[in-house]
Structures are given as C-alpha cells and as structure tokens.
Amino acid sequence: MRDILAITNEFNESLQKKEQDIANVILLVKVVKKQLQDLRNEEWDSLVENVSAFCVKYDILIPNFDEFYVNFGRFRCKVVEYTISHHYRVEVFFKIIDWQLQELNDRFNEVRTDLLIGVACLNPVDSFSSFDIKNILRMAKLYPDDFGENVMVTLRNQLETYIVDVRDVDKRFSNLKGLGDLSEMLVKVKKHLNYPFVFCLRKFVLLLSVATATVERAFSAMKLIKTEL
C-alpha cells in the first residue's frame, strides 16, 4: 500500500489544486496507470525481498512460500490448492493493484477524458496554447441536445474564426488567467454575440465544476447528518 500510495500521491495532489492544468492531469492518469501496471508486472520479487528483510530485522516469522496456503475460516482451517506465494501474489498483490486500475478506468473513462481535454483546450492561458478544434468538437458532441449535427458545422466555423480573432488580432484577450476571465472579456467587448455557440460551450464548462462541487458538498453534508437508522 505504501508503494501504491506513493505512485498516486502526485496525481491526488494535482486533482486538489485550485488552478488545475487539466491536460497535465489527463497525462498523469496515463502515467499512474503505467506505473501501477509496471508494479504489477515487475516488482513482486522486489517487494518480497523488502518485506523479508523487514521481517528478519524485527524477528518476524517468514512463512515458507512453497507450502500450501491454509485458509483460516470461521469454523475450521482449510488447506487450499495453491501455495502461500500464489495467495499473496494473486489474491493480495494483484488484486489491490487491479482495484486501483479499475477505479482510475471508471473515473477517467473515454467520455470523461474527452470532456476534460475539451475543457483544457478552451483555456486562454499562454495565449490559447492549448486550443484544439478537434478536441473541442469532440467535447461538444457530449451535449447532443444543444449541439446537433447542423449546429456542429456552425460551431466549427465559429471556432476557426474565434481563435484567429482572440489570439492573433484582438490584443485585449492576451494575458488572461482562466476561463472565468475569458468569459467576462467576451461579454465586456460583446464578442459573445459574434460567437454564440462558442460562448454557450464555455458556459457549460464553467457550470461543470460548480455543479460537480455542489453535488460533492451535498453528499458530504449528508454524511454528517445521516444516522444508522
């Protein structure tokens, strides 16, 4: 568990930062998955050596890994058809890592990843360096009620004009610090009227984090007041 938590620590900290670089967070998901998979495939022998050294140092009995594992049930001891080594390697070591990988896959599936990457592409930081029309359109497809097939064509055209306008022509959009600043500037100079579908997509992005945080706070409050009854 210490090794697994060490792998996921930086990822956890990046998710909790107030100012998140979502593109880097998505990359960290891939990094953590690879590290966990490498741990699963290559680090078992090393772990056994470290644990054995710890046991020797503190006079803890080390079982014979080649013996059959004894399952200490509630009423009797049952010898199973696999060794102690198999039990700790497959039933403990592999299983814990697989749980971690499954959790990452569930929380950062393809849909959520497309959504987060699209949000990152709309960020104006560093003169819109993360802007990518392809990823933004992929995110827009997640809202079929608001961005139908015909609207998607218009959205693409607006995005192509919009990025030239705010990145290369209108210097008032330089040095913006986030999506909030960008939305305020679009309204202030009335460009939200020129690019209504782009602005609509930005509103979804701004509401997303607020809605998610609101739900989490609601469930946290429920834990405080909920009793066993």
Residues with Cβ < 8 Å from 140, sequence gap 6 or more? 118, 147, 152, 155, 201
Query: What is the residue whose two structure tokens read 């896959």?
Result: 105
H-helix or E-strand spanning residue 208:
helix 196-225
99 with 118: CB under 8 angstroms?
Answer: no
User: In a structure prediction context, what are the per-residue pLDDT tens digits for the chain, which is 229 residues long?
Assistant: 888 888 888 888 877 765 556 667 777 888 899 999 999 999 999 999 999 999 999 999 998 988 888 877 655 566 668 898 999 999 999 999 999 999 888 888 888 888 888 888 888 888 898 899 999 999 999 889 889 989 999 999 999 999 999 999 999 998 888 888 898 999 999 999 999 999 999 888 877 755 455 555 555 655 666 555 5
* Domain edges within the chain: 2-107, 126-223
Report how far apart, in Å, the C-alpha atoms of 127 and of each of 13, 64, 131, 166, 184 are.
26, 62, 9, 9, 16
Question: pLDDT value at position 73?
Answer: 60
Q: For 172-218, list the strands marked E by DSSP.
A: none
